[in-house]
Structure 1
């Protein structure tokens, strides 16, 4: 009997051969490879008869499902929750305004074209994201990647990625339940938020520690296998919890993105991702029906216009609302007017769930193809469009936008009350999530197992005791992990009106501890009186052993924070080592030694020339390191701030004498008449009005002398000049970033009518 090659192998060979050819062609014509893969899918699909077609489409669908899992896992590896937090309000507000508006418009456009409800909803969903690949390629070709508006665009793309992932989960839930009840949707979002928090907190606590423990075994092969195993494990967990497999893959990728192995995993995984992503995009290309596309040509045209003008307008409006200048808002809006890879994933999701019509995917492909070609031309046209808008819009309107932009970009100091509220909410949220998760896990797993061996009462009693033992550090943290006493005492003494909120927060914390213990007890027993007695007794017990609980919780907290920031910590150490290696040279007995400026030093804010340390101590300052910035060979105009790292040049005796001087300064309590209060030093951004000429042609040195501060940077016509020379002239419309005493700067702004 003759052996035949399995159809799976022949189909895979056909897919990859055609995919390789289209890849070469699209690279040659400098177009996105995704479109090439989709065309390859069309060529091997059932709607094209001139070359052999795939015979076992079901097998290809399974490969494609693996492809979308690995594609989302890879996106998660490039993503970071900390990166999302650091994106800033501007990009976040812009993205949210754009997504809400375009999804809403997409839905109603579908309804106007007499599409079904689910088709209209998925149409809105596939319009929600722009193409990162297309935008980055266009920016590189046009040389715009370093422009200020490009940073805002990249921030918006980050926010879009996470929002579209959540949108896919919501669409999956709606598709399965076929329910559009508002209450059901709220419950779904609460459930989603809870599971995301549990997975992320648990993952960050466990996975980096696990990887560190097997560090010596982690070669490239082992790391690849472990990362894929973790990805598929989270996919299974997400599916079991009722969420999409795409969400599980993305979450595990985002957890591994916070580890020190993120870049290595991403590098090792790239080939696997590329292979399966190619199969995925080819598989959805097989769904293209040219006849259907021709039948829906007007729908493609309408949705293309909605995409271009809708995303352009809504993104620009969102950027203006977030505080961006008009020119920058127009540039951002005209960069985002396309749909990309996520549109195919959303459209493919609807088809795989069987809730959307067959024509939706070909429509998405047609719109994507057109907007891919229009994107570079729209970006090029952004400046002429801005100039046109300035001509036709009322002058008051343009001036109002600029004023609003300058006002919203002022940097605000975080006051003590915000710090207290922020820490309180974070503590309650994180520990509350952990308590609920541990309780539900024990209830739904251990209780079920113990009932086979003990009575229900005995099993419940064991589970209650075990749950409280595990949760007691987190229960204590709700009431015990509070802001430092110095902050609370200072806030308490500042005003009598501050005392009621502090007392209120303490009472709320106590009530939440009671609620947490009662919640745990009521998951296994139903006696309210017993739960209250247990809660009160537990609070007394925790108070008596508070010192031990504080130590244990601090250990857990430090471990979590270290795991979360391990990449940054190791990167910072490596960078510091380079700096130390660079500056740790010696000759004779003269060398450079690092020292830290004390927090309460009486020379904070004083110019180095006025301090005259060269005469007093016979030392020189080689550099000042402030955060990630290094000022080498500072001049007499430079000033020092708390915790600056300074490189002191001198011999052993000179350096020892100066170090002793710093120690005495650091240990001496500050006196109001000696120390320049650093709380009064602020950094703010002001704009020189276009219609006010007093500052025109004045120099940076004049601004320094008049405001008593330092001009950190000048932003002019989209370009930024850092640490400008004293002789640089000020021009109308300049944005000046100034560090100065709050009162002096406020007087300066009011005197010269700055914004």
Structure 2
């Protein structure tokens, strides 16, 4: 027998132990992540009573792959458009919380005498909360439909992207040892440049690729392609100086904008689960129980900072964003824990060799404690608010709620803000693309031509033609594309005094475009030639062929927008109708709705719901609970504002408009199921089987109806064979005769008993 590699033995040990521990954790309803970490502790080097992993280096490689797939999966669930949709309230809340807790973590580390890198990584580890743990707690406590839960989910989305950026900054600081402000600003600028560039290029190319290859993309091919794209982006990210995790996240977020996103997420889930489990087990392998005991007080201090620091900062952020005191407290108490990202950040610090060994067990210990406290924090958030309401001066509570209402009633942006935002978008996106093309031209195209072509003039002319041939549509957009919105037209046509500022804007961007052309051409030609010949030629081409360039740019822009909005096209009408129904159902003045008033909740009708088939008039939910049904979505059909005679059917998507208090009373009614006995029989036990009418079953002389076959077999008589003639679906009055062959559809065991029970 051949030699078995140690890696296979280690994987067998890891997966078997992880499976048994997670089965235990599922049975006691605890997060699987903690189970994996405990499994890692069991197979780690610090417990002498259990078998240990031998080949730790190879396991570490598998763990690194696990981090890549965890971030890839997170990107698939994320998408950049989701970040835009979370709104100002969640964004303000998240940024206040992250800034406060990161700085608090840093200063706590400094206060305890830690090194600068230990303190920085502690702040980074505290910056995220656990999406998995929060959603699980919301489900168990039945508060997922409450209005504050939406703010929490939005904050989690913002946290994910910010913590990804923090990881990149921490790794850059750890490698360069540079803490100066200019260096950090350069790193942040470089990071955002590549984020936007990858997003623009990815959205333009990848959905088109998937659409063209759709006919040949089965599950296997799509899986291979998705993993290849993920790892390819990982390589690109590391080549330009960023982390592998960032590359995986970016590719996931690009694929999240395609129509294949759900399918990719589904087929890659087993891979993510497999490698992710190994990663979290490897986290547990790094835990030394003795170290945790030695730093017990540190774990307690970090835990207290997490609980009270996140409670305070998130509540403050929610209040500043315009949420009322009650919702702010509920949001704050929901976010008071450390998420799985803490382990990824800590592992990054260890792999770079910049943090102390004790920091990892401290983070794990604090994370474990806050995981167990999370459900209780959420459960007691409302009683805590009631305590605050009784304790705080009434004037304070009134002032906070008045501020909240006034914030919600802020009017829409004025026309100038809309126009300036449109100009900024045009300049920003096209500027990023032009900057990328210029870098590619100067750093790759020119050196390549230097080696291939000896003549300087020929080389420069080719570089100019190729570079500006590609860049021309984006140069035209930067210098001449105008916003396509009514605000711009109104400012230009209806208010003469606005034409001056608009003309200034047009002039400024033309100058910026000419300066960009001049800088670029100067890199290809001597200054004199650039000023006298190249710049005028490029400018003349832009003017003479402006219409053709404009049409080409419109085609490029159209493809990009089509790819970007592919997933939203089918849902756009539904979302619009929902908003119109909500607007129409309550108040013609949407701005007058207070933040604690009714909101839309999407629910799904269970296949076992007891009210299935009843009309809305029979249910009388509006009269009893004060809720309104805004829509019923049944497959591809959407029923807007359903009437009293509409019925609810299994798997209907229902939009409920209600306040938190109304939903709390109504949700148990909506979730109620029929009290029926559900058979544990598998479908395979339902068979078509034949019996012969004889002395054992005593069916002779009985009709199909009074034979009791239906009751005794949970089945039906589908055929009778008599004298070589067959009767399909015999009448219930048909009389059985001796020797009849009877075909029955029913439960296999009960049909067999029919011949013996008589």
TM range (shorter): 0.7 to 0.9
Give the corresponding residue for 1:684: 591
Is the Cα contact below 8 Å between 2:287 and 2:360 reproduced in 1? yes
Partner of 1:224: 223
Deviation at 1:152, TM superposition (A): 0.1
Partner of 1:498 in structure 2? 498
Q: Which has the larger displacement, 448-457 or 384-393?
A: 448-457
Could you say which residue in structure 2 is the equivalent of 1:261?
260
- Distance across 2 between alignment mates of 1:718 and 1:323: 20
Q: Which shows bigger deviation, 90-99 or 44-53?
A: 44-53
Q: 2:19 aligns to what SS in structure 1?
A: helix
Q: For the residues of structure 2 that align with 1:406 and 1:485, how far apart are their CA atoms?
A: 30
What does the per-residue CA deviation read over 1:526-579, in whole Å, with 9 as the maximum and x for residues that have no partner?
416724754344334322322211111111000000000111124558x7xxxx
SS of corresponding position for 1:115: coil
Alpha-carbon deviations, 1:91-147, whole Å to 9, x = none?
000000000000000001011111111011000000000011111011001100000
How far apart are 1:516 and its partner, in Å?
Answer: 2.2
Question: How many equivalent residue pairs?
Answer: 606
Q: Does residue 627 of the first structure (1) align with residue 577 of the second (2)? A: yes
Aligned equivalent of 1:448: 447
1-side partners of 2:71 and 2:22: how far apart?
21
Residues 649-670 of structure 1, C-alpha deviations (whole Å, 9 max, x = no match):
xxxxxxxxxxxxxxxxxxxxxx
Deviations for 1:42-65, whole angstroms, at most 9, x for unmatched residues?
111110111211111111111111
Q: In structure 2, how many angstroms separate the alpha carbons of the residues matched to 1:322 and 1:94?
A: 6
Shift of 1:274: 0.3
Per the alignment, residue 78 of structure 2 pairs with 79
Change (3 A) 1:24 1:720: closer
What is residue 507 of structure 2 aligned with on the other side?
A: 507
The residue number in structure 2 matching 1:284 is 283
Q: What do residues 363-408 of structure 1 show as CA deviations (whole Å, max 9, x unaligned)?
A: 1111011101111111111111111111221211111111110011
Report the secondary structure of 2:451's partner residue: coil
Aligned residue number for residue 200 of structure 2: 201
Provide closer, same or farther for how the CA distance between residues 486 and 112 of structure 1 changes in structure 2, counting only shifts above 3 A: closer
Per-residue CA deviations over 1:275-294 (Å, capped at 9, x if unaligned) read 00001111111100011101
Name the structure 2 match of 1:414. 413
The alpha-carbon deviation at position 682 of structure 1 amounts to 6.0
Partner SS state of residue 258, structure 2: coil
Structure-2 separation of matches of 1:454 and 1:354: 46
2:59 aligned with 1:60: yes
| 1:638/1:468 CA distance change after superposition, 3 Å | same
| SS of equivalent residue, structure 2 residue 591 | strand
Counterpart residue number, 1:148:
147
Instruction: Give 1:514 deviation, angstroms.
Output: 0.5
Secondary structure of the equivalent of 1:627? Answer: helix
Mapping 1:23-34, distance limit 5 Å: 23-34=22-33
How far apart are the structure 2 equivalents of 1:464 and 1:88? Answer: 44
In structure 1, how many angstroms separate the alpha carbons of the residues matched to 2:139 and 2:189? 40
Say yes or no: does 1:15 pair with 2:20: no
Q: Please tell me whether the aligned partners of residues 146 and 663 of structure 2 are also in contact (alpha carbons under 8 angstroms).
A: no
* d(CA) in 2 for partners of 1:105, 1:470: 48
The answer on whether the counterparts of 2:404 and 2:595 sit within 8 Å (CA) in structure 1 is no
State whether residues 521 and 535 of structure 2, in contact with CA within 8 Å, keep that contact through their aligned partners in structure 1: no
Taking only aligned residues, the RMSD between alpha carbons, in angstroms, comes to 2.6
Aligned mates of 1:408, 1:556 — CA distance in 2:
39
1:333 maps to which residue?
332
Change beyond 3 A, Cα 1:502–1:211: same
Deviation at 1:490, TM superposition (A): 2.6
Residue 662 (structure 1) aligns with = none
Shift of 1:497: 3.8
Task: Please say if residues 38 and 282 of structure 1, whose CA atoms lie closer than 8 Å, have aligned partners that are also in contact.
Answer: yes
Alpha-carbon contact 2:480-2:506 (below 8 Å) kept = no
CA 1:217/1:179 → structure 2, altered by over 3 Å: closer, same or farther?
Answer: same
Moved more, 446-455 or 66-75: 446-455
In the alignment, is the contact (CA less than 8 A) between 2:7 and 2:55 conserved in 1? yes
Matches within 5 A, 1:228-239: 228-239=227-238
Matches within 5 A, 1:553-564: 553-564=553-564
Corresponding residue number in structure 2 for 1:100: 99
Q: Distance in 1 between matches of 2:140 and 2:510?
A: 59
Distance 1:135 1:326 in 2: 21
Whole-Å separation in 2 of the counterparts to 1:336 and 1:631: 32
Distance across 1 between alignment mates of 2:576 and 2:279: 48
Specify the SS of the correspondent of 1:53: coil
Q: Which moved more, 1:459-468 or 1:70-79?
A: 459-468
How many angstroms apart in 1 are the aligned matches of 2:398 and 2:657? 20
Change in Cα spacing, 1:685 to 1:539, as seen in structure 2 (3 Å) is: farther
Write out aligned runs for 1:659-674 (5 A): none
Q: Any stretches of 5+ residues in structure 2 without a counterpart?
A: 598-625, 627-655, 665-758
Q: Does 2:42 align with 1:43?
A: yes
2: CA distance, partners of 1:202 / 1:688: 39
Distance 1:381 1:160 in 2: 24
Distance (Å, rounded) in 2 between the aligned partners of 1:4 and 1:411: 72
Q: Distance in 2 between matches of 1:308 and 1:190?
A: 33
TM-score (structure 1 length as normaliser): 0.77
- 1:239-283 per-residue CA deviation (whole Å, 9 max, x = no partner) reads 000000000000000000000000000000000000000011111
Q: For 1:309 and 1:429, locate their aligned partners in 2 and report how far apart those are by CA, in whole Å.
A: 40
How far apart are the structure 2 equivalents of 1:474 and 1:372?
50
Q: What CA distance in whole angstroms lies between the structure 1 residues aligned with 2:596 and 2:348?
A: 52
CA distance in 2, matches of 1:108, 1:99: 14
Corresponding residue of 1:619 = none
1:567 corresponds to: 567
User: Contact 1:22–1:39 at 8 Å: present in 2 too?
Assistant: yes
- Give the structure 1 partner of residue 246 of structure 2: 247
The 2-side partners of 1:221 and 1:717 are apart by 45
* Partner secondary structure for residue 48 of structure 2: coil
CA contact (8 A) 1:11 1:54 kept: yes
Note if contact 2:464-2:524 (Cα within 8 Å) is conserved in structure 1.
yes
Q: How does 1:564-603 map to 2 (within 5 A)?
A: 564-571=564-571
Counterpart for residue 685 of structure 2: none
User: Who is 2:481 aligned against?
Assistant: 481
- SS of 2:592's equivalent in the other structure is strand
Deviations 1:627-653 (A, max 9, x none): 346879x9xx999xxxxxxxxxxxxxx
